[in-house]
Amino acid sequence: MSASLTVEVYYDYLCPFAYQGTVWLNDVKEKLGDQVNFVWKAFPLEQVNSSHGPEWTVWGQPATVQSFSRNQFAAAYAAEKQGPEAFNAFHTALFGLHHQDGKIPGKLETLIEAATAAGLDIDAFKRDIADPELWARIGQEYNEGKAKGVFGTPTLVFPNGTPLYVKMRPAAPDEDTLKVWDQVVAMSEQSYLAELKKGNPPIHHQDGKH
């Protein structure tokens, strides 16, 4: 058996493309099992789109400043402390609560709901969310992502250092899950292929009606 392929995935719970990408990657993992491993990395879009100036950071705000962006990643790290299965269950639940149910992923009640659905130890979860060391980790992962060429979510970074921004909506259907995965892996190995982008052809209306 070949060695497992480990891929970093930069994400934000607010991003609809990160949500669809997660649905797809969960399917990939289910089909390939130990052949592939995804390591999820925080990439807060609030930081990407910030107009506060270069010194302002999502992760550097004091506890008195409410930050839904910071909260969602701290919660993911808190879930991770309870094991990889706990993280995966929480990760999927929180994405679903936002993109299926319309709930704000950084609100404490939403985070608790996701943690409960994932079967986490809620007392430990609440305690860990407030750990400033987890907030600092957001900055570490964000800066690592920027240094690797990440600009949006979801971006997959392969072992050879190739970052690929994968935008799909909806997620690839079950029968195409591995086909798309193979295409993405192949592109990561083609250093000369810098970008592929679909155009948006105009919509043609019958009989000239709009």
pLDDT on residue 1: 41
Q: Is residue 197 in a domain?
A: no
- pLDDT digits 0-9 by tens, 37-82: 999 999 999 999 888 888 889 888 887 777 888 899 999 999 999 9
Is there a domain that residue 85 lies in?
Answer: yes
Q: Where are the alpha helices (DSSP H) in 6-131?
A: 16-32, 45-48, 68-80, 84-99, 108-117, 122-129
Q: Is residue 155 part of a domain?
A: yes
Confirm whether 104 is domain-assigned.
Answer: yes
Specify the pTM: 0.90
- pLDDT bin (cut points 50, 70, 90) of residue 100 is very high
The CATH code of the domain that includes 76 is 3.40.30.10
User: What phi and psi values does residue 10 have, to the nearest 5 degrees?
Assistant: -90, 130
Instruction: Give the range of the structural domain holding residue 118, as residue numbers without chain letter.
Output: 5-188
Task: Tell whether 210 is covered by a domain.
Answer: no
**Residue 204 banded pLDDT, cuts 50, 70, 90:** low
Q: Please report whether residue 106 resides in a domain.
A: yes
User: Cα(100)–Cα(92) distance, rounded to whole angstroms?
Assistant: 11
**Would strands 155-157 and 5-11 be described as parallel, antiparallel, or unpaired?**
antiparallel
Contact 125, 21 (CB under 8 A): no
Res 61: pLDDT: 84
> What's the number of domains the chain is made of?
1
Per the domain annotation, does 193 fall within a domain? no
In percent, the amount of the chain with pLDDT more than 70 equals: 95
| CB count in 10 Å sphere of residue 23 | 18
Residue 16 lies in a domain: yes
